[in-house]
Amino acid sequence: MIAVVGVIGLISISDGIKNMVNESLGSLQGVQVLQKDSLSPMLSRVDMDIISEIESFPEVDIVTPRVFGIASSIDGKAFLSGGMSMGGTAEIIGIDAAKEGLSGKTGFDASQITQGRFLKPSDTYSAVLGKKIADDYKKSVGSVVELNDIRFKVIGIWTTGSASTDNMILIPISVARKMFGIESDKASMLTVYTKDPEAVDAISKKIELRIDGVDAKSGSEYAADVSSVFGSLDMFFWAISSIAVLVGGVGILNTMLMSVMERFRDFGILKAIGWGESDIMNLVLSESAILGGAGGLMGIAIGYTLVEIAKPVLGFPMYVSPTLATTAFLLALGLGIIGGFYPAHKASKLDPIEAIRYG
Amino acid sequence: MAKKILEVKNVQKYYKMGETFVHALRGVSLTISEGDFVFIIGPSGSGKSTLLHILGILDHPSEGEVLFEGKKVSELDEEIQTIIRRKKIGFIFQAFNLMRSLTAIENVTIPLVPSNVNEDKANQKAAGLMQMLGLGDRIYHTPNQLSGGEQQRVSIARALINDPKIILADEPTGEVDSKTGNEIFRYLRMMNKKYKKTFVIVTHDTEYIKRGDKIFKIHDGKIVG
């Protein structure tokens, strides 16, 4: 049971992170163009000149520059002490309002606005807040928000329904450049939208081939990277879990062995009155499978409850998937059967006379 | 002449118990036929329980041969022996040997479990037997709610549930007073008369023997009369 709780707890974390990332990557359209070998958009600088070069490719519809930075303080409060933890960093994204929002061709558009309006090219110190930031700081359209000690007017609230974009703040790109000290002919990254959405993988290769000093990646290429990282995280969690599972198995073995020894006499009687070795074997194995299965169900229930309790407290993405619950149950059932094997064998081989006389 | 159920031919049994060598049976031969009411009597340590275990195919002779319905038991494989024990032999033990956690009727139906008998049918049959043995109002009691005599009758019902040819009883009155003992024998004899069941009873109490019973006296591992 404990083993199952452990498995549920650990794997739900990894599944939860995966879900969050996949959700975000799912909303990621187009091809991201970053400075070569940069670890994150915040550390990346690309020249604005290459926009026209990429836009000249016939497959390309529109190329938008974006500037990425972190809101290290909101309303004068240092962000990290604000009670938010992982998955809760507020990102500031500077966008070119002439290209994004209005066109409906890019990832950010007016339909995601739940309150107010999207940025216009004439806006300066105006911000569109992600829903979570607006909720956490009790902002609505018309309020003033201080981002990294600069005052902005809230003109809109937006959401894509994904936890990671709900922590994003959109401001005009020119203001973002000043805020993060980026030259006026640079951006953190470019997002390339193709006329045919299927063409993204081809275009990302073309960009890397034609333009020096950049990495271009489509959402599906990111997803492949991420899932390889999570593959190893999963392995690690399963490794820890398997220790718990081993302990659980030994527990079942011990319980069943004790229970069989206590009933030596009973098994002897059963043999004397015509139960065969296989009948006794089946009896003990089913008992032990029921023990394992019941432990598994309890473990899943407790694990699930703990995850539900922990989720809001930790602010951590955790997710108990049906696959995980099923796997955990089958694991417990299997443990029951394996752990019961030796005790069942022992019970089935009893000499009925000895068992009745001394048992 | 009645059909032979069990034939024992010159059976020897010896085993080591710790450091001591025990020669429990020293050449026993006997025949048990259908409808017999057989007593095996002798002092404790005479080998009578060992003989009963061999008759019940719970134990095997060191030398000699046991024939069940004319077939050599030693030549039957383990599985067939189990099926003979299940279908053709009933056991009654001195200490009743009921499952303490099960109700009386569950104890009675337990030998039917490996044969996958339908539960309703099994319960019906068990209830009928228990009625016949005067346990009609004890069906759902657990062993610790029953008197010694009642427990022994539950174990008689258990021995009869599979309709065996032969019932082997090891000191069936060993743990009850003589009034209860008489009552138990009344039931055993009823089953013998009415349903032609064969009984082999090991005991050191000679008070239950009646005229017409077959008696084997055993002493030091040998039949002496």
Residue B126 lies in a domain: yes
Residue B4 lies in a domain: no
- CATH number, domain with residue B182: 3.40.50.300
CB atoms under 10 Å from CB of A310, counted, come to 15
Pair type for strands A126-130 and A150-158 = parallel
- Mean pLDDT, chain B, rounded, equals 91
Contact criterion met (CB < 8 Å) for A274 and B159: no
Separation CA A290–CA A283 (nearest Å)? 11
Q: What is the ipTM of this complex?
A: 0.87
Residue B16 lies in a domain: no
Q: Report residue B77 as tokens.
A: 């494989």
Query: Per-residue confidence at A308, pLDDT binned at 50, 70, 90?
Result: confident
Q: Is the pLDDT of residue A280 over 90?
A: yes
Contact criterion met (CB < 8 Å) for B159 and A273: yes
Q: Is the pLDDT of residue B108 over 60?
A: yes
pLDDT tens digit sequence for A237-256 = 777 777 877 888 888 888 88
Q: How far is B105 from chain A (nearest CA, A)?
A: 15
Residue B143 lies in a domain: yes
Q: Is the pLDDT of residue A27 over 70?
A: no
Number of domains in chain B: 1
Contact criterion met (CB < 8 Å) for B58 and A272: yes
Q: Is the pLDDT of residue B219 over 60?
A: yes
Q: How far is A356 from chain B (nearest CA, A)?
A: 8
Q: Which residues of B touch A273 (CB under 8 A)?
A: 85-86, 90-91, 110-111, 158-159
Residue B83 lies in a domain: yes
Whether B79 contacts chain A with CB within 8 A: yes
Lowest mean pLDDT among A44-48, B102-106, B163-167: A44-48
pLDDT tens digit sequence for B40-61 = 998 888 888 899 999 999 999 9
For chain A, percent of residues with pLDDT exceeding 90: 12
Closest residue, chain B, to A265 (C-alpha): B97
pLDDT tens digit sequence for A312-329 = 777 667 788 888 888 888
Confidence (pLDDT) at B124? 94
Whether A265 contacts chain B with CB within 8 A: yes
Using the Cα atoms of residue B127, residue B128, residue B129 and residue B130 in order, give the sign of their dihedral. positive
Query: Per-residue confidence at A25, pLDDT binned at 50, 70, 90?
Result: low
What's the rounded mean pLDDT across residues B144-160?
93
Confidence (pLDDT) at A87? 43
pTM (2 decimals)? 0.64
The contacts of residue A173 (CB under 8 Å, 6+ apart) are A65, A66, A67, A94, A95, A96, A97, A187
Residue B19 lies in a domain: no
Of residues B53, B83, B158, nearest to A273 (C-beta): B158
Query: Which structural domain range is residue B109 located in?
Result: 36-60+77-223
What's the rounded mean pLDDT across residues A99-125?
78
Confidence (pLDDT) at A234? 75
- Helix H or strand E encompassing A178: helix A173-180
Pair type for strands B4-17 and B20-33 = antiparallel
Interface test with chain B among A273, A349, A353, by most B beta carbons within 10 Å: A273
Cα distances (angstroms) measured from residue A218 to each of A101, A188, B66 = 21, 16, 83
Query: Per-residue confidence at B204, pLDDT binned at 50, 70, 90?
Result: confident
pLDDT tens digit sequence for A156-212 = 998 877 666 788 899 999 999 999 989 989 999 888 888 887 788 888 888 888 888
For chain B, percent of residues with pLDDT exceeding 90: 70
- Mean pLDDT, chain A, rounded, equals 82
A100 contacts A106 by C-beta, under 8 angstroms? yes
